[in-house]
Chains A and B, each alone.
Chain A
Amino acid sequence: MPWISPMVEKYKSQYGSGLDAQTYLGQNYFSVDHSLIPNILRLLRDDQQFDYCVDITAVHYPKREKQFDVVWILYSFPRNERVRVKTQIADGASIPSSVSIWPTANWLEREVYDMFGIQFEGHPDLKRILLPDGWKGYPLRKDYGILQQDQEWVQINLGIESGQ
């Protein structure tokens, strides 16, 4: 269902077809072209008071040409309102980091990188956060099996044949 509000009208006239606004079950979200990141995020913080970045995450759709959805969940303390921003990027493509907009993005982006292998350009220290540094593979991609492990890492570092 389309989401209608003065904020949406303003951004639609500004960005045209690069931006779409929908609402589902009472929750609003923007689907934007990846070239609008991070400008739209900065505008949402500076002009629309979305001062709190709740979460950054991604979803993998292996059959699509642009395989990943990157999702920002934002909240505004003054407006008491939530909004999500979604964009699609291809495997291997990178996306600008939003650490300079919200410092909390630091660990959140590291986790997205760790789990999906999405590169955030301009991140001050992009490295794995939950998995060990030398690990190969990105577990939350759909082609990564639930029992799959980096056997080589397990054998070298844990000294056991298999972690299973």
Chain B
Amino acid sequence: MSDHNNDSENVVSLSHLDLETPEKPYLDSNELIINMGPQHPATHGVLRVILKLDGEKVLGTECVIGYLHRGVEKIAENRTYTMFNPYVDRMDYVAAVSNGLGYCEAVEKLLNVEAPARAKYIRVILTELNRIASHQLWLGTHALDIGAMTPLFYTFRDREEILKIFEKYCGARLTTHAFRIGGCQYETYAGFEKDVKNFLTFVKPKIDEYEALLTTNRIWLERTKNVGVISGADCIALGVTGPVLRASGVKWDLRKAQPYAAYSEFDFEIPTGENGDTYDRYMVRMIEMRQSLRIIEQAVNGIPEGPIMGKVPKVIKPPVGEIYHSIEAPKGELGYFIVSDGSTQPYRIRVRPPSFVNLQALDIMVRGMLVADVVAVIGTLDIVLGEVDR
């Protein structure tokens, strides 16, 4: 990392490219401004990155986002609390269950109700399955970007098993709308626990397979070691959360720091990295998948009997007030700030998206690196443009 240091008052500053240079009729012969995207296979959606290059070296970047903006927060103000529930699935569409969990828990907090224990366990099982699915999709596409094609086929093959469980549980594979405010809509289907246990025994050796392909692969090591390094202090200053923060050595996970759902009842570790490079982020996510398996195993073995829906009024009308609630989504801290004016419709819902905030770190992570590393860093940040643009 070249041009930022940690000791000054201003820890990091982002670059703002001077794109219009009318006083200079010719570009400096070495400097070149090019667009990467908005339609580019490695940007994982419609992300446009303006790169300022000196040969192959990146001098600065600027992200242009908003191509997928659908005005989710405006829609929320025009729907009831119940009607808005399916919309949140469309933000981070590869981790729809996590979005739903965060939203339902936020509204429950505002209503001052709690989901029953059984509903909480079902929520944990599905959310952790979704975390694995999200990490699998990340691994497949990230490896493909860097040039390894096989992991993509492996991860998509195995992710399918998770989607099958979702489909059997609630009828949808991706935009699941699995939870309701106050608990769960659906009781587990007959054979749910057996399916989940089968999945656990099925996927454990598969994760070893991914690791066999990549962890000691020389090409993988050279493309990821010391690429896109970010320090823990810079992560905190830039609000970066999730596996990216943990790979930089900060042991922080909302499931432990401020437990929600039933997470306080399970035993699991928070993996951390040391160097904050792309390889550490890869290792952190691999260990997280195994830890998720541990959580699911404990949850499915200890799932209590009882109701799945709490005492929630038919018409949801939270009292006047506001609440902020956040969960550890696969990408980082996903928060909902809800303002209620006492009516059936939220007065304002603000979504704090992890992808949006994490993407901000791209600039300082790639400065001084090569163009090919930009591709690796976009992959390792694990952004979903549906959530960046909302």
A residues less than 8 Å from B347 (CB atoms): 59
CA distance A102 to B237 in the complex (A): 6
Asked if residues B69 and A24 are in contact (CB atoms below 8 Å), the reply is no
Asked if residues B66 and A130 are in contact (CB atoms below 8 Å), the reply is yes
| A25 at the binding interface (Cβ < 8 Å) | yes
Asked if residues A100 and B348 are in contact (CB atoms below 8 Å), the reply is no
A76-111: contact bitstring with B at CB < 8 Å (1 yes, 0 no)? Answer: 010010101000000000000000101110111000
Asked if residues A53 and B112 are in contact (CB atoms below 8 Å), the reply is no
Interface size on A, residues (CB 8 A): 37
| A2 at the binding interface (Cβ < 8 Å) | no
Asked if residues A104 and B75 are in contact (CB atoms below 8 Å), the reply is no
| B10 interface neighbour in A77, A103, A129, Cβ under 8 Å | A103
CA distance A138 to B45 in the complex (A): 25
Asked if residues A24 and B350 are in contact (CB atoms below 8 Å), the reply is no
Asked if residues B74 and A53 are in contact (CB atoms below 8 Å), the reply is no
Asked if residues A25 and B109 are in contact (CB atoms below 8 Å), the reply is yes
Q: Take A103-B12, A125-B16, A130-B389 as given contacts and tell me if A73 and B335 are in contact as well, using a CB distance cutoff of 8 Å.
A: yes
| B75 interface neighbour in A24, A132, A144, A146, Cβ under 8 Å | A146
Identify which of B35-43, B209-217, B316-324 touches chain A.
B316-324
Chain B, interface residues (CB within 8 Å), range:
35 or more
Asked if residues B239 and A54 are in contact (CB atoms below 8 Å), the reply is yes
Identify which of B140-148, B295-303, B352-360 touches chain A.
B352-360
B residues less than 8 Å from A32 (CB atoms): none
| A124 at the binding interface (Cβ < 8 Å) | yes
CA distance A125 to B18 in the complex (A): 11
A51, A84, A146 — most chain B CB neighbours (10 Å):
A146
Asked if residues A54 and B10 are in contact (CB atoms below 8 Å), the reply is no
A residues less than 8 Å from B240 (CB atoms): 104
Identify which of B82-90, B171-179, B250-258 touches chain A.
B250-258
Q: Take A104-B237, A106-B14, A146-B78 as given contacts and tell me if A59 and B348 are in contact as well, using a CB distance cutoff of 8 Å.
A: yes
Chain B, range 68-106, C-beta contacts under 8 Å to A: 69, 71, 73-75, 77-78
CA distance A60 to B77 in the complex (A): 12
Asked if residues A53 and B239 are in contact (CB atoms below 8 Å), the reply is yes
